């Protein structure tokens, strides 16, 4: 679900209230798990609702940390490439 879809779902009657409709905890967790973990994510063993909620939260936190580490690694790699490029381009100029 995209941000716009969520806002359209919750703000479908703006004349009644200035605030959007409320979201239950189950609905919020479902939207977050579908968005972050994907709609095909499932638990392959029989478990209760609270255990599945724990699995969802653990999966969301793992994905968040993985993406954050990946972005940091990509940024560091980009900085290294820029520095190496500058040294290769400006290096001969500094010698003369």
pLDDT digits (tens, 9 = 90+) for 16-39: 667 778 888 888 888 888 988 888
Cβ-based neighbours of 10, under 8 Å, separated by 6 or more: 20, 21, 23
Please, are residues 41 and 59 in contact by the beta-carbon 8 Å criterion? yes
**pLDDT value for 95:** 56
Percent of the chain with pLDDT over 70: 86
Average pLDDT over residues 32-57: 88
In whole angstroms, what is the distance from residue 70 CA to residue 85 CA? 22
In whole angstroms, what is the distance from residue 54 CA to residue 40 CA? 17
Q: Quote the number of domains for the chain.
A: 1
In a 13 Å sphere around the CA of 55, the CA atoms on its Cβ side amount to: 13
Mean pLDDT rounded to a whole number for the chain: 81
User: Is it the case that residue 96 has pLDDT exceeding 60?
Assistant: no
- For 33, which DSSP code? I
Print the domain residue range for 77.
3-95
Percent of the chain with pLDDT over 90: 0
Interior/surface letters 26-42, b for 16+ CB within 10 angstroms, e for the rest: eeebeeebeebbeeeee
Higher pLDDT, 82 or 48: 48
């Amino acid at each position: 679900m995209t941000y716009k879809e969520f806002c359209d779902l919750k703000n479908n009657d703006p004349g009644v209230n200035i605030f959007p409709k409320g979201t239950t905890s189950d609905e919020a967790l479902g939207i977050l798990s579908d968005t972050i973990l994907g709609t095909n994510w499932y638990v392959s063993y029989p478990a209760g609702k609270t255990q599945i909620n724990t699995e969802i939260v653990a999966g969301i936190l793992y994905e968040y940390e993985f993406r954050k580490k990946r972005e940091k690694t990509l940024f560091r790699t980009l900085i290294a490439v820029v520095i190496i490029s500058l040294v290769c381009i400006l290096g001969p100029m500094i010698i003369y």
